[in-house]
Chain A
Amino acid sequence: MHRRDPRDIIGGLLLVTVGLAFAAYAYANYRLGTVARMGPGMFPLGLGVILATLGAVLTVQALRRPGNWPTGEPLVAGLVLAGIIAFGMAIRPLGLIPAICLLIVLAAPAEGRIRPRTIAALCVCLSLLSWLIFSVGLGLPVRMFWWSL
C-alpha cells in the first residue's frame, strides 16, 4: 500500500491527457458554429473538456487516499495482441489457414505450459473447423490459401 493511490493517479492523468488532446484537435480542425447551428467541432470540444475535468477530479481524490500500483501481465497481453495483428496482416496476402496458424502459434504459448504437439493439433483442428463453418457452411468469401481463388 502507498500513501497515495498510484493506480488512480495514472488513470486520472491519462484521462486529462486524452480529454485535452481530443478537445484541442476538435478546436483546431473543426468549425464550432453557434449554439443554434452547431458545427462539427462543438460537441467533441465539450466532451474533451468534460473528460479532462473528470480526470482531474479523479487525480485529486487519488492524491488523498492510499492505494496500490496497477498490476498486469504485459507478456500475455503482448502475445495475444501480436497474434491478432498477425492474423490481420496475413489474411489478405496469405489466406485464412496461414492466418489461423500464425494466430495460434503466437497466442497459445501465452498460457505458458502448452506443448508443441498441442499447438500443432490446435492448428489442424481449428483450420478444419473454420473451413467447414465459414467457407462450406456460411459461404463466406474468404480464401483458404494464397494460391486458391
Chain B
Amino acid sequence: MGILDNLLLGLNVALAPQNLLYCFGGVFFGTLIGVLPGLGPLAAISMLFPLTFYLEPTTALIMLAGIWYGTSYGGSTTAILLNIPGTPVNAVTALDGYPMSRQGRAGVALFMTTIASFIGGCVGIILLTTLAPVMVSYALRFGSAEYFALILLGLVAASTISSGSTIKSLAMVVLGIMTGVIGMDMYTGALRFTFDQRALFDGIKIAALAMGLFGVAEIIASIRHVGTRRLDMKTVRFRAMKPTRDDMRRSVGPVIRASAIGSFFGALPGVGSAIGAFMSYGLERRLSKEPERFGQGAIEGIMAPETANNAADQTAFIPTLTLGIPGSATMALMLGAMMVHGITPGPRLMTDEPGLFWGLIMSFWIGNVMLLILNIPLIGLWVRVLLIPYHLLFPTVLVFVCIGAYSVNNNPFDIYVVAAFGLLGYLMRMLDFPAAPLLLGFVLGPMLEEHFRRAMVLSQGDPSVLVTRPISASILALTALLLFWNALSAFRAHRAAATGRG
C-alpha cells in the first residue's frame, strides 16, 4: 500500500461517527482538565483512562490522544490568565503570557497561542506521518539486545535531561521498575511480591497507579494552596482577540523555528515537550533585537513555546508507535492503554493494524481542528470553568477517581492501590522526588527485564552480546555518555558552589 492509500484508510477510520464523537469528547475533556489548575495531563489521562476500557481499541486511543493534546491547549489558558502553570511546558508560556494578560491583551494572547498550537501540531503530524514508516523499517531489524539498550537509553535520558536531581530521578525509575516486578513472572510463572493477594497476581493496574500518583497526590498538594481567583472578563471577549499587524509579523519567525525545535525534541526518547518549549523560548530571546521585551509580554515569548510543545506532543508518538518505547510518562500511559486493549505497539503495529495506526494519526488532524474551534469562540466557557472554587472541584474529582478505579475490575482493592500511591506520591512531593520517572519505569520495567533475559538466553549467558552488536553498542555508549556528562556537570556545579561560598 502506498502512503496515499494509508492516509485514506486512516481518514476513513478517523471519520467514522463513533471515532469523531470520542475524538471530540477527548479534546473537550482534555481542554477542560487542562484549564483546571492543579490537574495536569497525566492526571487527566489517568482519570479518564478507565472510561475507555469499554470502547474499541482504536476509538479508545483516539480519545486518549485527544485528551492529551487537548490539555496542552487548555493548560496555556491557565498559564496566561492566572500565571498558574499546569505543567512545566506552560510555565514557559506564563513568562510572557501573564504580562500580556496584565496589559489587557489576554484575548490576543489566547488567540495567538491557539493558532501557534495548531501550527505546531500540524507540523508534528506531517513529520509523524513521513518519519514513522522510515523508523519502522529500521526497527524491524532490532533484536532483544537492541531493545534492551533502547529502553535503557529512554529511562536514563528521562532522568538526566529533566530538571532536578539526576540521582533522584534515577532512583524513581528503579522504584518504578520494582513496582512493575510485582505479579507473575512471565518466564517461570513464579509469583513475585504478591504476598498472597489474589488481586496482585497480574500486577498493579497502571490506571490505579497513575490516578494515585498524579491525581490524588496533586489534589492533596493543591488543597489550601489554590486560592480564589479574580479575572476581568472584558479582556477575554471574542472582540478583544484580534491581534495587531505587528503581532502577526513578529510571530512568523518564532513559529517556524519552534516547529522544528519542538518536533526534534519530541521525537527523542525521554526528552518531551518541556525541553523543546524551553529551548525555543531561549532561542527566540537570543535572536531577538530587543531581548529586554521578553518577560514583559513579548508575543514571541508565547508563540515559540506553544508551537514547540504541540509539535513535540505529536512527534512523541514516533518512538511510541514504531518501537513501542515511550519517550515520556504521558506516552508511557498511552502505551499502557494500548496494552490493556491487547495491542502491542512496535514495528509490526503499522502493518498488522493499519486501520488503528493511520486512523489514530489522521484523528490528530481532526482533533486539532476541533480544538481550534473549541478554543477560540468558546474561550469564555473555559474562563468560567477556571473560576470554579477548588473546594467544590476537588471532592468531585475524588469521586470520579474512586469510581474510575473501582470500575476497572469491580474490585475495591484497586481503590486501596490508588490510596497507597496517593500517599507515596505525596511523600515523594514532600521529599522532592519526581513522579513521572516512576511511571516510565513501571511501564518499561517488564519490557526491560524481558528483553534482558531473552538476550541472555540467546547469547547463552554472555553479557558481551550487548556491546558487540553495533546498534546496541552505540545506543549503550550514548547512554553512558549521558550519565557521564551529567555527573560531570553536577560535579562542576558543586565545585562552583563550593568556591563561590569559600
Chain A interface (Cβ within 8 Å of chain B)? 7-8, 10-11, 14-15, 18-19, 22, 25-26, 30-31, 34-40, 43-44, 47-48, 50-51, 54-55, 57-58, 61, 70-73, 76-77, 80-81, 83-85, 87-89, 91-92, 96, 99-100, 103-104, 107-108, 110-114, 118, 122, 126, 130, 134, 138, 140-142
**Is the pair A81, B423 in contact by a Cβ cutoff of 8 Å?**
yes
Chain B interface (Cβ within 8 Å of chain A)? 51, 54, 165, 167-168, 170-171, 174-175, 177-178, 181, 185, 187-188, 190, 192-193, 216, 219-220, 223-224, 390-392, 394-396, 398-399, 401-403, 406-407, 410, 412-413, 415-416, 418-419, 422-423, 426-427, 429-433, 449, 452-453, 456-457, 459-461, 463
**Bound-complex Cα distance A37 to B459 (A):** 11
**Is the pair B418, A43 in contact by a Cβ cutoff of 8 Å?**
no
**Is the pair B410, A142 in contact by a Cβ cutoff of 8 Å?**
yes
**Bound-complex Cα distance A93 to B190 (A):** 33
**Bound-complex Cα distance A11 to B453 (A):** 31
- Chain B residues lying within 8 Å of A113, measured Cβ to Cβ, are 391
Indicate which residue in B181, B395, B413 contacts A108 across the interface (CB closer than 8 Å).
B395
- Least Cβ distance of A81 to chain B in Å? 5
Q: Is the interface of B mostly helix, strand, loop or mixed?
A: helix
Nearest A residue (CB) for B189: A40
Most buried by A among B167, B394, B396, B427: B167
Nearest A residue (CB) for B461: A36
Given contacts A103-B402, A107-B395, contact A35 B461 (CB under 8 A): yes
**Is the pair B178, A47 in contact by a Cβ cutoff of 8 Å?**
yes
Nearest A residue (CB) for B402: A87
**Is the pair A83, B398 in contact by a Cβ cutoff of 8 Å?**
yes
**Is the pair B457, A70 in contact by a Cβ cutoff of 8 Å?**
no
- Least Cβ distance of B411 to chain A in Å? 9
Indicate which residue in A18, A22, A43 contacts B449 across the interface (CB closer than 8 Å).
A43
Given contacts A99-B402, A104-B399, contact A58 B190 (CB under 8 A): no
Closest 5 A/B residue pairs (Cβ): A36-B461, A88-B415, A40-B190, A35-B461, A111-B391
